A and B are shown apart, each in its own frame.
Chain A
Amino acid sequence: MADDPRSRGPLDPRTIIAFYHVNLRYRDQTALADVSFTVDNGEFVCLTGPSGAGKSSVLRLITMDLFPTKGQVVVRGMVSTRMKRGRIPMLRREIGFVFQDFRLLEDRSVYDNVAFAQLVVGVPGADIKKNVMRVLTQVGLWNKRDRLPHQLSGGEQQRVAIARAMVNSPKILLADEPTGNLDPVTAQEIIDLLFRINDGGTCVIFSTHDHEIVKTFGQRVMVFRDGRLASDVERRVPERDRAPRLSDHMYRPGEEPATPHREGGHA
Chain B
Amino acid sequence: MLRRTQLGYLARESVAGFRRRKLTTGVTILIMSASLLVLALFVLVTLNLGMTLERTRENVDVRVFLVGGLDAERLAGLQPPFLAIPGVREARFIGQDQALAEMRAMLGEDADVLEVLDENPLPASYHLELSRGHRSPEAVAAIASELRRWPEVDDVVYSQAWVGALESWARIFRWSSLVVSLIVFGAAVFVISNTVRLTMASSRRVIEIQMLVGATNGFIRTPFLVEGILHGLLAGGLAMGLLAAGHRVLSVRLDGLAFFTPVQVGGFVAFAVVLGLLGSLAAVSQYLRLRRVV
Question: Residues of A at under 8 Å CB distance from B?
Answer: 56, 59-60, 63, 65-66, 86, 89-93, 97, 103, 105-106, 116-117, 119-125, 128, 164, 168, 176, 266
Contact = CB atoms under 8 A, between A and B. Distances in A.
B215 A120 contact: yes
Given A92-B214, A93-B213, A119-B9, A66 B205 contact: no
B2 interface: yes
B214 A121 contact: yes
A90 B211 CA distance: 10
Nearest to B210: A120
Contacts of B120: none
User: What 9 pairs across the A-B complex have the smallest Cβ distances?
Assistant: A92-B214, A93-B214, A120-B215, A117-B213, A89-B214, A65-B294, A122-B3, A125-B5, A60-B294
B215 A89 contact: yes
Interface in B1-30: 1-6, 9
With most chain A CB atoms within 10 A of its CB, the pick from B212, B219, B220 is B212
Nearest to B212: A97
Given A59-B294, A89-B217, A103 B6 contact: no
With most chain B CB atoms within 10 A of its CB, the pick from A117, A122, A266 is A122
B216 interface: yes
A119 B209 contact: no
Contacts of A125: 4-5
Contacts of A122: 1-3, 5-6, 219
A172 B215 CA distance: 17
A177 to B, nearest CB: 12
Contacts of B214: 89-93, 121, 168, 266
A224 B214 CA distance: 29
Nearest to B211: A92
B130 to A, nearest CB: 66
A266 B214 CA distance: 10
Given A117-B213, A176-B294, 14 more contacts: A63-B212, A65-B293, A65-B294, A91-B214, A97-B212, A103-B205, A103-B208, A105-B205, A105-B209, A116-B213, A119-B5, A120-B6, A123-B3, A124-B3
Contacts of B219: 120, 122
A92 B212 contact: yes
A56 B4 CA distance: 37
B243 to A, nearest CB: 40
A66 B292 contact: yes
Contacts of B205: 103, 105-106
Given A65-B294, A66-B292, A105-B206, A164 B213 contact: yes
